[in-house]
Structure 1
Amino acid sequence: MIGFAFPWAFLALPLPLLVLWLVPAHKEQVPALRFPFFRRITRTAGTTPGPGAVVLSRSRLQMGAAVLVWCLLCLAMARPERIGDAVEVTRAARDVVLAIDISGSMDTRDFRTPDGAPKQRLAAVRDVVDGFIAGRDGDRMALIVFGTRAYVQSPLTEDLDTITTLLGQTQVGMAGPHTALGDAIGLSIRTFEISDIEQRLLILLSDGADTGSRMSPVNAAEIAAGKGIEIYAIGVGDPKGSGDNRVDLETLKAIASRTGGEFFFAEDEAGLTDVYDRIDTLAPRETRSLSYRPKSSLAHIPLAVAAAIGLLATGFLAFSGRIGRRTA
């Protein structure tokens, strides 16, 4: 289907006629000789005298080429375009940030696989999160890792394969040995600043207690709640440990409750899988459909034809005038 982006340009079609009517041909007085008995002379010569003003006439070729070129220019100004079939795109109506603890305690091998074998905490988290990411096709996700400091591994993106790859390359201790929960939440808030989607979900996983954040985790959660960010906090590890090895369940609960989210505790790989399944149930994926018709401009075609007609007409007139002068 062909359409016009600016059909009002066709109103300019009668503009040359309007100019011709409002601005007639220029007339200029020149010196002349006065002949006595002028009328008798013209009758004897068999000619009919005309008005004193002389207006150069235009050939049919010139008029036809000018009219055609002007019509083509108006057509180009109307911006013709080919309109394709309607395309419907389904996009997620929610942005998700994964904040994963990679402090030194995540190297502990106290997670159990379904067959009872011991497994490193971070390895178990990666395996479960990979499946969770795979089920988010169409969503935008970001990845933040934190230890002593928090770092953005990937900003919000629809390229979930990159998120999976970056998470697979993450190693324990890369961000320092300690746990900075507050900094991770603060960095997540900064990451969501580019989002124009109302539903924002932060999945925060940690196995330790906050030991070095510049802002307390609860205060950071209050700010997140004001930004419309919902936090799902997941605790893994040993609640009875000491120092950085003790997961602070109370703080994680407070973080989740401040934002209207949920708190979970996972002791093994199967429990962690159940946690992510419950997150899917509590915060189902929302989508929005966008429909549009692809358009490709065709304005260059009438412009090219107008240029070709103008060049051909000018060349033909110049060539015919030269031949006429030689014949004369």
Structure 2
Amino acid sequence: VDEIQLNALPDGTAIGVALANAASRLKDSQAKSKVAVLVTDGINNAGEIDPLSAAAVCEGLGIKVYTVGVGGSKGLVNVPMPTPPNPLTGRSEMRYVQMLLPVDETLLRSIAQRTGGRFFLATDPQSLRQIFREIDRLEKTPLQIRRYVRYQEVFPPLVWSALGLLLLPFATTFLRVTAEP
């Protein structure tokens, strides 16, 4: 959650495409339990695949979908928005703006119910963390995570620099300093 890049993709929510993508990735999984977690406001306004059709595909493949609605009709939600880039540094920072984000609870509940999952509503970061803890408690299959780390080797340049400094006194013994009259 901490590494999510906001505004990295064009605006729009393609719930059906997201579920179809999850189904495609999980269809050959040998795991005891196949689970997808859909975090959205539930407003499907992009994509060519109907969300309920994609949910039917997930159901057929035995994929349980937990839906997490982000927002709410009962009040304002703090939404992180990037500030314009600083002209000197080029960096932009995140600020929170209160917005009314309606959630299509009916659609999200239908998807979860059809696939054997559950619907959750997150209105703030704390409730989102609690929801993920609850999903983790419900799903007992251990998850293996592969982490890829790109290392940059800095040892050789340091060794060559140190060797050069060590050899510098020997190289200077062959130099003679003479004064010109």
TM-score normalised to structure 2 length: 0.59
> Deviations for 1:156-192, whole angstroms, at most 9, x for unmatched residues?
xxxxxxxxxxxx2x42232210111110000111111
The answer to whether 1:181 aligns with 2:15 is: yes
Q: Is the 1:235–1:264 contact (alpha carbons within 8 Å) kept by the matching residues of 2?
A: yes
Whole-Å Cα distance in 2 between the matches of residues 177 and 184 of structure 1?
A: 14
Shift of 1:213: 2.4
For 2:135, the equivalent position in structure 1 comes to 279
For 1:237, the equivalent position in structure 2 comes to 71
Whole-Å Cα distance in 2 between the matches of residues 261 and 226 of structure 1?
A: 14
Report 1:123-202 matches (<5 A).
126-127=1-2, 168=3, 170-202=4-36
* Larger gyration radius, structure 1 or structure 2: 1
Whole-Å Cα distance in 1 between the matches of residues 139 and 15 of structure 2?
A: 22
The answer to whether 1:246 aligns with 2:86 is: no
For 1:119, the equivalent position in structure 2 comes to none
Q: Any gaps of 5 or more consecutive residues in structure 2? A: 76-100, 144-181
For 1:269, the equivalent position in structure 2 comes to 125
Q: Is the 1:198–1:228 contact (alpha carbons within 8 Å) kept by the matching residues of 2?
A: no
Aligned residues: 119
Q: Structure 1 residues 181 and 240 mapped into 2: Cα distance closer, same or farther (>3 Å)?
A: farther
Q: Is the 2:39–2:68 contact (alpha carbons within 8 Å) kept by the matching residues of 1?
A: yes
Q: Any gaps of 5 or more consecutive residues in structure 1? A: 1-125, 128-167, 288-328
Q: Is the 1:239–1:249 contact (alpha carbons within 8 Å) kept by the matching residues of 2?
A: no
Q: Is the 1:205–1:236 contact (alpha carbons within 8 Å) kept by the matching residues of 2?
A: yes
Identity of aligned residues (%): 33
Shift of 1:265: 0.4
Whole-Å Cα distance in 1 between the matches of residues 18 and 74 of structure 2?
A: 23
The answer to whether 1:206 aligns with 2:40 is: yes
SS of residue matched to 1:233 = strand
Shift of 1:268: 1.2
Q: Is the 1:239–1:248 contact (alpha carbons within 8 Å) kept by the matching residues of 2?
A: no
> Deviations for 1:260-317, whole angstroms, at most 9, x for unmatched residues?
0111001112211211111122212358xxxxxxxxxxxxxxxxxxxxxxxxxxxxxx
> Deviations for 1:22-42, whole angstroms, at most 9, x for unmatched residues?
xxxxxxxxxxxxxxxxxxxxx
Report 1:32-181 matches (<5 A).
126-127=1-2, 168=3, 170-181=4-15
For 1:216, the equivalent position in structure 2 comes to 50
SS of residue matched to 1:224 = helix
Q: Structure 1 residues 257 and 204 mapped into 2: Cα distance closer, same or farther (>3 Å)?
A: same
- Which has the bigger relative contact order, CA under 8 A and spacing at least 6? 1
What amino acid does structure 2 have at the position aligned with 1:172?
Answer: L
SS of residue matched to 2:35 = strand
SS of residue matched to 2:68 = strand
Q: Report the structure, 1 or 2, having the larger strand content.
A: 1
